[in-house]
Amino acid sequence: MEIANIFFQVAIFVLFFSISFPFLVSKFDNNLNYLDQLVFNIIIQINLILFLSFLNVSLKTILIVYFIYLSICVLFQLKNIIKIKLILKKENYFYLFLLIICLALCLDVSYSLTLGWDAQKFWIPKALNFYNYETIDNLSNVPNPQYPFLGSLLWATFWKISFFPEEYTGRLVYVFLYCVSLASLTETLKLSSTIKIIFFTILILLSYNYIRFDGHQDILIFCLISIGAKTLYTIISDNQKISLYQTILLILICNALIWTKQEGTVYAFIIIFTLFFFSKISLYKRIVFLGLVILLFSARIFIYKFYNLEVSLNSCCWSDLSLNALIEKFTFDRIITIIKFFLFIFLKNSFFLLGLVFLIISFFSNNILKKDMYIYFFYLMSYGFIFSAYITSELDLIFMLKSGGLDRLIFSSSPLYILIVTRYINAQNLKI
């Protein structure tokens, strides 16, 4: 019965997320494949669920509105659904393989039910809040109310609609998003479906670990950054004009990041700054993008204040943010200690090592392209933020570095290393 439940849950993900926005995505961009539309639908729907929670309604009401939305989408596109012809094509093998891998990973998660420490203390209490039909204003009664809650809300949503409502079924949505986000990055390869299947398999083997899905929210950050990375690649590396599809997608990705974890806000701004400095869109559009993200962050602060939730940072880690207190923490010993841990974590991160290998190959083949500068900028900003967070912390530095937080932070920001690989392979103009 447990296997049947997993099949049912994955079928729910595929079915729900395949239902497109009432206005066909193809109207936004004519070059979208099924995976592009699936990604767009996912981002639209998780933002819809999030926005509904702002109305201080219970999960029951959210689910009713969500199902009404899906029904309206189906009715708007009924004629197009009827016209669909099921033709087995070579390019569809990749999607079939994606589904098989997703099922296999979901089965693995279902047999490894341990929750991480952070998940037990911070994230599942928020999931239980929504699962038990409490609303956003009741989050003040759960641990760390200042933490964003999107991941816990999704956890509760798909836990509630599971065939057998077991806790882990809600976390399977993270597995589905993980597989789709890596598949989306794989789509940057301009090669055959067979090569994409091999490359996708390598990415899974290099990055999958149950600990990523034990309730920590870093995997959701990873997925959102992966989708954002694919979009940045299309806009910057392929020198495309930004489409309405990409505009909506990037803004909603940034909003989802802001509501996933505290550091998600920083990543949202880093993505927009990367677009700001390296895309060829007009200055007016760049300013609009930046203004919208500032507005989204301001909206989060307003909503938290409206429902009397905390907005502050962790007082345990950063209570004194005066200039003198911050400067005093920048000692030689602390800097060296952080750098040592950074190097150790880098050597454990498979995506970093893979990107480094291809960066070295590019260097010796004189194939370093200026198009990659946005990737280096992204990591300069990301690691600068992570370094600053650790060196200014008031907790014991060694304890913080050993607790696993640094490993998760490096992992969640690692998807852009894959772009170094795919960019190099595409530059070879291989015909396979």
DSSP letter string, 292-320: HHHHHHHHHHHHHHHTT---S--TTT-S-
Tell whether 254 is covered by a domain. Answer: yes
Tell whether 142 is covered by a domain. Answer: yes
Tell whether 418 is covered by a domain. Answer: no
Tell whether 393 is covered by a domain. Answer: no
Reading the block at residue 301, the tokens are 């602060």
Of the two residues 367 and 308, the one the predictor is more confident about is 308
- Is the alpha carbon torsion for 240, 254, 118, 55 positive or negative? negative
| CB-CB contact of 153 with 249 (8 Å) | no
Closest alpha carbon to 273 in 159, 382, 157: 382
Mean pLDDT over 300-309 rounds to: 92
Closest alpha carbon to 153 in 45, 310, 225: 45
| CB-CB contact of 105 with 208 (8 Å) | yes
Q: Would you say residue 390 has pLDDT above 80?
A: yes
Reading the block at residue 417, the tokens are 């290393």
Tell whether 413 is covered by a domain. Answer: no
Of the two residues 426 and 98, the one the predictor is more confident about is 98
Rounded to whole angstroms, what are the CA distances from 298 to 167, 318, 390?
Answer: 33, 21, 25
Distance CA 305, CA 193 (A): 49
Q: Give the long-range contacts of residues 164-167, CB within 8 A, separation 24 or more.
A: 164/1, 164/2, 164/5, 166/2, 166/5, 167/113, 167/124
Give CA angle at 17 (16, 22), nearest 5°: 90
Tell whether 383 is covered by a domain. Answer: no
Closest alpha carbon to 401 in 409, 261, 207: 409
Tell whether 425 is covered by a domain. Answer: no
pTM for the structure as a whole: 0.93
Percentage, residues of the chain above pLDDT 90: 58
Tell whether 33 is covered by a domain. Answer: yes
Closest alpha carbon to 119 in 145, 164, 151: 151
Q: What are phi and psi of 192, to 5 degrees?
A: -70, 165
DSSP designation for 116: P
Among 49-53, 73-77, 264-268, whose mean pLDDT is lowest?
A: 73-77
pLDDT in tens, 198-210: 999 999 999 999 9
Q: What is the DSSP string of 270-294?
A: HHHHHHHHH--S-HHHHHHHHHHHH
Distance CA 220, CA 391 (A): 25
pLDDT value for 415:
95
CA 197 to mean position of chain CA atoms:
21
Strand boundaries in 367-429, DSSP class E: none
The number of distinct structural domains making up the chain is: 1
Question: Structural domain of residue 219, as residue ranges?
Answer: 2-313
| CB-CB contact of 200 with 98 (8 Å) | yes
pLDDT value for 431:
64
pLDDT in tens, 226-254: 999 999 999 987 666 788 889 999 999 99
